[in-house]
Amino acid sequence: MTDTWENIKGQKDEIVGKVKEVYGKASDNAELQAEGVQQQVEGEIRQAAAKGRQDEASLKADAEASAAEAQESVKRQSQQTLENVQQKADDNLKDAIQEGKELKEEAARKAEELRQQAIQENKENLQEARDKSAEAHRTAESFDDAARATVEDSLSEEEAE
């Protein structure tokens, strides 16, 4: 194959690699991004070999170093993303705990209100029962007095006869 053809293939690899890298960054696809960087470097290698600027072994080592650097960059980004997710999870947990405490306090307040309401209703029912009991006692005394009066009247009439 001619040097010109190798140079064209290298340019194609470099362009395709750049597109993959940009798309990988845009879509947050670290693997595609790293693959794009590697393909760009391989394209540069082809071009350099075709132009006779450097030997192939040197360019391959550079490509591997660039790929390793890209991988390290992706690892750092992944670590940062993980830390961000963990922080968000911690924040969400704290928010949930606080909301749970607030709900618990609200439930305790409501329970106390209901207890106080029940106590008041019991007092009212007790007073009503006492009032009814007193009324029943008065009615019973009235019947008792009426019964005694009737008995006394009957006895008085019998004596008078």
Q: Write the pLDDT tens digit of every residue in 99-120.
A: 999 999 999 999 999 999 999 9
What 3 state SS string does the chain have? CCHHHHHHHHHHHHHHHHHHHHHHHHCCCHHHHHHHHHHHHHHHHHHHHHHCCCCHHHHHHHHHHHHHHHHHHHHHHHHHHHHHHHHHHHHHHHHHHHHHHHHHHHHHHHHHHHHHHHHHHHHHHHHHHHHHHHHHHHHHHHHHHHHHHHHHHHHHHHHHC
- Mean pLDDT, the chain, rounded, equals 87
pLDDT in tens, 9-53: 888 988 988 898 888 889 988 898 898 889 889 888 888 877 774
Domain boundaries of the chain, sorted by first residue: 3-160
Chain-centroid distance, C-alpha 126: 49
pLDDT score for 54? 47
Distance CA 17, CA 64 (A): 15
**Is residue 45 within 8 Å of residue 10, measured between CB atoms?**
yes
Select from 70, 6, 75 the least CA-distant residue to 43.
6
Question: Which tokens go with 52?
Answer: 């006779």
- pLDDT for residue 150 is more than 90: no
CA distances from 115 to 87, 108, 110 (A): 42, 10, 9
Return d(Cα 139, Cα 78) in angstroms, integer.
Answer: 89
| Sequence-distant contacts of 97-102: CB under 8 A, at least 24 apart | none
Residue 69 has pLDDT above 60, yes or no: yes
What pTM did the predictor assign? 0.40
Q: How confident is the model at residue 138 (pLDDT cuts 50, 70, 90)?
A: very high
